[in-house]
Amino acid sequence: MNSGIKGKVVAITGASSGIGEAIAVHLASKGARVVLGARRTSNLVKIVSSIIENGGEAVYFSVDVTQPGQVKDFVSYAVENFGTLDVFVNNAGLMPLSMINSYKVSEWHQMIDVNIKGVLHGIAAALPVFEAKDNGQFVNITSVGDRWVGPTSTVYSATKFAVRAISEGLRQEVSANIRVTLVAPGATESELAETISDPELKKLAIEKFRVNLLSANAIARAVAYAVEQPSDVDVNELVVRPTAQKSF
């Protein structure tokens, strides 16, 4: 399976809402066989049913990306169901913004565990499958925060800077036939702001930064663009902001 989207087996973490859901729905509409992973299986059941009702092929698997064994099982489930894996989308993430001197240490840990270690677990699970067939693609969803940092985004941006570094290192280390794509969204409609625990900060973030939002489908289209290229074309990075987002 080299170019195009039709028939490709695509596993997506964080597919129970927002950008991950949109990627699953959009790629399935283009003929991909999608495997949705997240913890909220009640959401996954509904999304998978809707994809199938619309003529697509989809299955789901309950996975917590902080658990490397579960991510491995997620990949195995994809391969058992559809015979192979062509694309692994590392999308799961959270963004509990806060000032450093609020000392929300457990939220820092959570971001590091999901946003960084979760991606590494995805790589550890999917890369052996890609190496065995000498073909495959990682799509890592970072953020414009992978190259920008400001007050309250320090730890979140640090996790996304890390994923950008991991993506570039991975791209150089893997064989000539394995692709690594980074997609960095700007402000996009999703449930992400719900992870901000400070009510004042959440209100400020929603009023000041979470305006002129992109639809999650805009990010899904960017992912589709990278996936559908011929196999000798590796779209390394796509930064997708709302046109009106100028300041970060």
Catalytic residues: 156
141 versus 227: smaller Cβ distance to ligand NDP: 141
Query: Of these, 24, 58, 92, 174, which contacts ligand NDP (CB under 6 A)?
Result: 92
Contact 25, 5 (CB under 8 A): no
Are the C-beta atoms of 35 and 11 separated by less than 8 Å?
yes
**What tokens does 2 get?**
């080299």
- Which residue's structure tokens are 């719900």? 194
State which amino acid sits at residue 182.
Answer: L
Coil/strand/helix, residue 183: strand
Q: How far is the CB of 132 from ligand NDP (least distance, A)?
A: 25
The stretch among 8-16, 73-81, 125-133, 198-206 that binds ligand NDP (CB under 6 A) is: 8-16
- State which residue, 101 or 243, has the beta carbon closest to ligand NDP: 243
Euclidean distance between CA atoms 239 and 163, whole angstroms: 14
Binding of ligand NDP by 124 (CB under 6 A): no
Interface stretch with ligand NDP, choices 11-19, 73-81, 167-175, 240-248 (CB under 6 A): 11-19
Closest CA to 236 of 248, 224, 226, 246: 226
Q: Is 95 in the site for ligand NDP (CB under 6 A)?
A: yes
CA distance 182 to 123: 13
Of 28, 61, 84, 93, the one binding ligand NDP (CB under 6 A) is 93
Interface with ligand NDP (CB under 6 A), residue from 130, 167, 188, 218 = 188
Query: Interface with ligand NDP includes 39 (CB under 6 A)?
Result: yes
Distances (CA, A) of 117 to 85, 113, 124: 21, 5, 10
Question: What residues make contact with ligand NDP under the rule CB under 6 A?
Answer: 13-20, 38-40, 63-66, 91-95, 114, 141, 143, 185, 187-188, 190-192
